[in-house]
Amino acid sequence: MVDITHKVTTLRTAKAQAIVHVSSAETIAAVVENRVPKGNVFEMAKVAGLFAVKNTHIAIPDCHPLPVEYTAVEYEIDDLEIRIFITVKTVYKTGVEVEAMHGASVIALTMYDMLKPIDKGITIREIGLVQKTGGKSSFKENNPKEIQAAVVVCSDSISKGIKEDRSGKVIVDKLKSYGVKVNSYEVIPDELELIRARTFELADKNQLVIFTGGTGLSQRDVTPEALEPILERRIPGVEEAIRSYGQRIMPFAMLSRSVAGTIGDSIILALPGSTNGAKESMDAIFPHLLHVFKILKGANHEPSE
């Protein structure tokens, strides 16, 4: 099974379809008028589809068990075709596309089984996904274009060449994966005034400035102290999301002093300096954070669907 432990929980929906094609108008009439010997085709098939959705992870080996929080089945009749539509919703870390398609296929098979005594010419076709929403892919598609970013590593030991930077490179890679252009990447020592000066310089040229390191509780960890007085507006929800996400993975995350705020139209972030801490912080807030650039330009708060 694919590792989804790093993913965030979002509302995810999937709509799938299947088409049952019968060979005569009499079969359609029997279904509509509830004259099929085996029972009510629509209701029986619907129940089978609901069971199929809930048990997808048992039938399909690589599917994750997940909470199915909504399922709806609809039918449309077009000449000799019965079109099946099934919508599935969950609030979870992974999508429900397979659950929806599994449900559609079982509904179609149930119809086939119930109708075969009266119609030997039934076929099933076009089982597939109609629509999906939720997850990072949906947020990524809605991101504004051409975001410019700068990444700064705050570390005495790395700036002296004693250690090699990893957290900054993780952040750069993550940003590039979301289509953000990284204009600069640099390493500076844990000096409060230097951090503050670089913040103003970089915020003037970039929409996103991310610091990594210096958010702990040692005497040299001064990144929050450098940034907090100069931020025009704090974004506490981002800070809470980072710590909440990290806390579920590593108890020490509660000791991090991550910071988020704005200077003008630039977003300033201070993330942990450990490789895992930086990676998990990025997983917690990206690409969702990029929506803020639409807000800063005057868009409403609702992401498009």
The residue assigned the tokens 């397979």 is 98
* Length of the chain in terms of residues written: 305
In the set 113, 119, 165, 265, the catalytic residue is 113
How far CA 46 is from CA of 26, 104, 171, in Å, comes to: 22, 9, 47
Residue 128 pairs in a beta bridge with 17
Q: Is the CB of residue 174 less than 8 Å from the CB of residue 154? A: no
For the chain, where are the alpha helices, taking DSSP H only?
25-32, 41-54, 56-59, 97-115, 135-141, 156-159, 167-177, 192-203, 223-227, 236-249, 275-285, 292-296
Q: Is the CB of residue 120 less than 8 Å from the CB of residue 127? A: no
User: What phi and psi values does residue 39 have, to the nearest 5 degrees?
Assistant: 125, -170
Within 10 angstroms of residue 10's Cβ, the number of other Cβ atoms is 18
Task: Judge whether 113 counts as a catalytic residue.
Answer: yes
How far CA 158 is from CA of 27, 61, 164, 260, in Å, comes to: 75, 45, 6, 23
| String of DSSP letters for 145-197 | S--EEEEEEE-HHHHTTSS---HHHHHHHHHHHTT-EEEEEEEE-S-HHHHHH
Q: Is the CB of residue 129 less than 8 Å from the CB of residue 101? A: yes
Return all residues near 224 (Cβ < 8 A) that are at least 6 apart. 214, 215, 257, 259, 270
Q: Is the CB of residue 10 less than 8 Å from the CB of residue 91? A: yes
Its sign, for the CA torsion 283, 288, 292, 297, is positive
Q: Which residues are catalytic?
A: 113
